[in-house]
Amino acid sequence: METYKARVKIALEDGKIFEGFSFGAAGEKYGEVVFNTSIQGYQEILTDPSYKGQIVTMTYPLIGNYGVNFEDVESKSITVEGFIVKECSRIASNWRSEKMLDDYLKDNGIIGIEDVDTRALTRHIRMQGAMKAVISTEDMDNDSLVRKAAASPGLVGRDIVKEVTCSEPYDRNEKGSIKVAVLDCGVKHNILRHLESRDCAVTVFPAKTGAEAILKIKPDGILLSNGPGDPEGAPYVFETVRELLGKAPVFGICLGHQMIGLALGGKTYKLKFGHHGGNHPVKDMRTEKVSITAQNHGFCVDIDSVRSKGVEITHMNLNDNTVEGMESDKLNFFSVQFHPEAGPGPNEAAYLFDRFIDNIREKK
């Protein structure tokens, strides 16, 4: 006998409605709806703090087929606002599986929706852009849902970093020989794992920590983490970054890269539908080598606004020619828009952590 599945509706602010059936929790949530092109790694995607404020659509049709374990998480909890798939597998075929995806979402209060035409939804987002949306198992009135979507808070100008950063500083791998300070704007666990594996003693600071408190521990290097939303919505971060540049080797990742751009006096802007997935080609402008990278961001540094700031553009996105990396020898930083730590995604860019350590050792 087939289990009864409740209906769910997704309403976009432009009036477009998509329907499906519920898995996970019941209720109503709003967020910006985006799509992710990864074919695996749904657990890492669900727990990536950079997705706070967003409803994620997976373009790969079958999700949940290897279940969920408690090792491959990228933060303490699920951070997406909702999860949209074509089909949620009720069978997990993996020896590491400890829970089904359906139960995982339910236990964390996250609404899932399946049997959605994810190809049509993805195409709509590509054509019209990422937009505000509501996902609901309760309200089935189309007009009401569209009004809710339109009235919901968007990402532009909104501070979401404060919702995912740690509340107090904490240490990891205290026996490491290289002292690294991490400014936590929503740091993924895999970034910390990469630092620890390279003999780093890591101190993680809340995003609102000032430069003086960070420099007080005399770090050998400083890492500016990934995070969600609009970088201009958290001015306290790039004001701190402005004071940190030039004081120690700095490595910026994703939102950290954008914060460096703003700290230099540059500008950022919102991409039409963002970069979310594990198949984005990025060219190293020095070596002309192309890496396939993991990405998750909806905003970007305006390349023209930073060219005059004495920085070198080091990486470019081959899909849309947006800036993917920059550096300055004078200020002793380099940064990338993509995710060298992967989790999920290809590992081709992990060498950047080695470069960060090399920069630190040269200065010690």
Tell me the pLDDT band of 47, cut-offs 50, 70 and 90: very high
Dump pLDDT digits (tens) for 81-96: 999 999 999 999 999 9
- Single out the catalytic residue among 254, 257, 280, 297: 254
Which pLDDT score, from 0 to 100, does residue 5 have?
Answer: 76
Average pLDDT over residues 99-108: 96
Residues 193 and 165 in one domain: yes
Average pLDDT over residues 203-232: 98
Q: Closest by alpha carbon to 131, among 233, 63, 196, 57?
A: 57
Residues 80 and 172 in one domain: no
Residues 147 and 175 in one domain: no
Residues 136 and 176 in one domain: no
Dump pLDDT digits (tens) for 281-313: 999 999 999 999 999 999 999 999 998 888 999
Residues 130 and 203 in one domain: no
pTM of the shown model: 0.96
Q: Closest by alpha carbon to 259, among 297, 232, 289?
A: 232
Residues 145 and 179 in one domain: no
Domain C-terminal end among 96, 122, 151? 151
Which pLDDT score, from 0 to 100, does residue 363 have?
Answer: 81
Which pLDDT score, from 0 to 100, does residue 1 have?
Answer: 38
Dump pLDDT digits (tens) for 113-154: 999 999 999 999 999 999 999 999 999 999 999 999 999 999
Domain C-terminal end among 151, 171, 197? 151
Question: What letter does residue 27 receive in the DSSP assignment?
Answer: S
Q: Rounded to whole angstroms, how far apart are CA atoms 250 and 248?
A: 6
Which pLDDT score, from 0 to 100, does residue 4 have?
Answer: 60
Residues 335 and 260 in one domain: yes
The CATH code of the domain that includes 26 is 3.50.30.20
Which pLDDT score, from 0 to 100, does residue 54 have?
Answer: 98
Within 8 A by CB and 6+ apart from 143, the residues are none
Determine whether 300 is an active site residue.
no
Report phi then psi at 183, rounded to 5: -90, 110
Residues 218 and 82 in one domain: no
Q: What does the angle CA 27 – CA 148 – CA 117 come to, to the nearest 5 degrees?
A: 65
Q: Closest by alpha carbon to 245, among 350, 327, 338, 355?
A: 327
Q: Rounded to whole angstroms, how far apart are CA atoms 311 and 290?
A: 21
Mean pLDDT across the chain: 96
Q: Rounded to whole angstroms, how far apart are CA atoms 176 and 279?
A: 33
Within 8 A by CB and 6+ apart from 64, the residues are 42, 85, 88, 89, 90, 92, 100, 101, 102
Residues 209 and 127 in one domain: no
Domain housing 73: 7-151
Place of tokens 């995070």: 227
Taking residue 276's Cβ as centre, other Cβ atoms within 10 Å add up to 26
Residue 3 reports pLDDT greater than 70: no
Which pLDDT score, from 0 to 100, does residue 364 have?
Answer: 72
Residue 2 reports pLDDT greater than 90: no
Identity at 306, one-letter amino acid code: V
Average pLDDT over residues 330-354: 96
Coil, strand or helix at 257: helix
Which pLDDT score, from 0 to 100, does residue 308 have?
Answer: 87
Domain C-terminal end among 102, 117, 151? 151
- Single out the catalytic residue among 124, 194, 257, 339: 339
Q: Rounded to whole angstroms, how far apart are CA atoms 209 and 116?
A: 43
Dump pLDDT digits (tens) for 216-229: 999 999 999 999 99
Residues 336 and 267 in one domain: yes
Asked if the bond preceding 228 is cis, omega within 30° of 0, the reply is no
Which pLDDT score, from 0 to 100, does residue 105 have?
Answer: 97
The number of domains in the chain is 2
Q: Rounded to whole angstroms, how far apart are CA atoms 230 and 170?
A: 26
Query: Distance of CA 348 to CAs 43, 226, 294, 295, 325, Å?
Result: 21, 18, 9, 13, 15
Cβ density class 29-66: b for 16+ within 10 Å, e for less: bbbbbbbbebbebbbbbbbbbbbbbbbbbbbbeebbbb
CA atoms within 13 A of residue 104's CA, in its CB half-sphere: 28
Place of tokens 């020898």: 329
Which pLDDT score, from 0 to 100, does residue 133 have?
Answer: 98
Residues 59 and 175 in one domain: no
Determine whether 254 is an active site residue.
yes
Which pLDDT score, from 0 to 100, does residue 327 have?
Answer: 97
Dump pLDDT digits (tens) for 242-255: 999 999 999 999 99
Determine whether 2 is an active site residue.
no
Which pLDDT score, from 0 to 100, does residue 247 have?
Answer: 97
Q: Closest by alpha carbon to 256, among 268, 246, 247?
A: 268
Residues 192 and 336 in one domain: yes
Per the domain annotation, does 337 fall within a domain?
yes
Angle between helices 255-263 and 235-244 (to 10 degrees): 70
